[in-house]
Structure 1
Amino acid sequence: MKNPLIIEDIEFIENNIMSIRSKVGFNFQYYIDEWLSEKTKFNFWAFFLAPFWLGAKGMFEYVFLYCILTNLFVNRIPSLHLILIVLLPIYFGFTGDILYFKKIKSEISNSTGFSVNGLLGICLVIAIQIGTYYLIA
């Protein structure tokens, strides 16, 4: 799949490399290589552990979407629930790295100093999953 980042995004990466390094931290080089490559790669961890990967990266809007959609249909329409728990991780596997870039770019552009620790993000995902399950189901 062709990388959807445009020239302005590549210039943003080159001009803000140190800020990106401090925001991304671990696996910085992997993400830079991914964002600057011509083709996007499939992110196995974003696929295999979708809500936890999203939480560890601080993308809680997608965690809420994932948890609400999967829990909304768990008891009502089980076949749709099964489709969602297969399709959503595939979507995040293919687009996760680009979504993560957009989050990092937004944080740097808006000068938000708030960043979520990976372990805290995973704990929040568990809380969100349990909460949405009991509220919706």
Structure 2
Amino acid sequence: MNFFIEYNQGKTFLHSSIYKREVMNLSCRDCGQEIGEHEAHCYRCGHVVSSEYVQDPKPAQELVENDLEMEQSYVGKKHHYYRRKWDQLENRAIKTSWNWASFFLGPIWLGYRKMYRYLGFLAGIYLWLDLLLYFIDITYSIFYFPILWVLKVCITLLYGLFGNYFYLQHTKRQLTKGKRRNNNQEKMDIWSKKKGRTNWITAITSFMGFVIFYLVSQDVLIPPNAINIVSVQNGSYKSYPSATIGNGFHRFFGSPHWENQETELPYEIVRFTGVADRDGEVVSVIIDIGITGDSYIDQMIVVDGEVLDQFEREHLLGTIFAD
């Protein structure tokens, strides 16, 4: 890396390819007021600055080595890999560099690296996507799973592309916090090893927490019987095994809508409503579908307010799934 020193308003800064580090920042121990480099007392409270408090800044190279040592202590044995990746981000406008671990493992990798903030972001994004699809009425659509799968693959790709940058920001933030809390190198080293490094226990527990949070949130915010609708849409009648119910209904009827029906029967009922053309007239259609194990039956079909008998039901279904 290339380093240079900048003196500005009594502060000395060390610049590197990634970091901008403050070398010496004098402030009053009593009131916190910033003190000039050569001032002997605080002009706000009058506190006298001791000779040991006003000292020359450490040499730049020594500070660089200390920062790199702290960074290495925090990251652990993979530090050389991440330092190389972080150096590559220096001149890139878009901070991307591929990380296979963050791509394939996602929340496990985040927990392994103790990046709990980003783990929470990921859980929140997944939940937000489910809620978005639910409120725009796609949850009950035959396109729900394909759309959700594509969106989550895109998120996974983003974590693969930005995983190294996320980890860089996390490391910088944690080391800055550690410097404020620890006043000597020994304490800082202990803190870095405790707060940083990797841990398979945190990886597993974080992943379990991620899954539990996601499932509980879905159960609370999204109707628990939504899976029944998806099951019917992706299922088939025994008489027409080559076509799914959802595809057939959506192709034949207009304004399709699905909902669960409360029933005292020993099986679940899913209701489909839509409109169809009958001799040039648009009529409303209601179809109640019973879920019996892994099979589906047309419990009731109502066309324009008239309940169809068994023969009429079979004729209508034959017309729908004729192709």
Q: Give the SS at the match of 1:58.
A: coil
CA deviation after TM superposition for structure 1 residue 45, in Å:
1.2
Alignment of 1:9 onto 2:18: yes
1:26-81 CA-partner distances (Å, limit 9, x unpaired): 31110111111256531111111111111111111221222233245188333443
CA distance in 1, matches of 2:19, 2:213: 39
Q: Quick check: which one's helix share is greater?
A: 1
User: Could you say if the C-alpha distance between residues 104 and 43 of structure 1 is closer, same or farther in structure 2, counting changes exceeding 3 Å?
Assistant: same
Alignment of 1:88 onto 2:155: yes
- Structure 2 match to 1:120: 201
Alignment of 1:45 onto 2:101: yes
CA distance in 2, matches of 1:68, 1:110: 25
AA aligned to 1:105 is K
AA aligned to 1:106 is R
User: What do you get for the CA RMSD once the two structures are aligned?
Assistant: 2.8
Q: Give the SS at the match of 1:41.
A: coil
Deviates more, 1:34-43 or 1:84-93: 34-43
1:63-122 CA-partner distances (Å, limit 9, x unpaired): 122223324518833344323320111111111111101111111111163526421321
CA deviation after TM superposition for structure 1 residue 11, in Å:
5.5
AA aligned to 1:118 is N
User: Could you say if the C-alpha distance between residues 68 and 10 of structure 1 is closer, same or farther in structure 2, counting changes exceeding 3 Å?
Assistant: closer
User: Could you say if the C-alpha distance between residues 81 and 60 of structure 1 is closer, same or farther in structure 2, counting changes exceeding 3 Å?
Assistant: farther
- Structure 1 match to 2:235: none
From the CA coordinates, give the structure whose radius of gyration is larger.
2
AA aligned to 2:169 is K
Deviates more, 1:107-116 or 1:23-32: 107-116
Contact 2:86 2:168 in 1 (8 A): yes
CA deviation after TM superposition for structure 1 residue 8, in Å:
5.9
CA distance in 2, matches of 1:84, 1:64: 18
Please, which runs of 5 or more residues in structure 1 have no aligned partner? 1-5
CA distance in 1, matches of 2:84, 2:121: 28
Aligned length in residues = 132
2:111 pairs, out of 50, 55, 74, with 55
2:125 pairs, out of 49, 52, 69, with 69
Deviates more, 1:35-44 or 1:98-107: 35-44
CA distance in 1, matches of 2:217, 2:99: 31
- Structure 1 match to 2:86: 35
AA aligned to 1:126 is M
TM-score normalized with structure 1 length: 0.78
CA distance in 1, matches of 2:120, 2:167: 16
CA distance in 2, matches of 1:9, 1:48: 27
CA distance in 2, matches of 1:68, 1:41: 24
User: Could you say if the C-alpha distance between residues 80 and 66 of structure 1 is closer, same or farther in structure 2, counting changes exceeding 3 Å?
Assistant: farther
Higher relative CO (Cα under 8 Å, sequence separation at least 6) belongs to 1
CA distance in 2, matches of 1:32, 1:8: 11
Please, which runs of 5 or more residues in structure 2 have no aligned partner? 1-14, 22-63, 182-190, 220-323
Q: Quick check: which one's strand share is greater?
A: 2
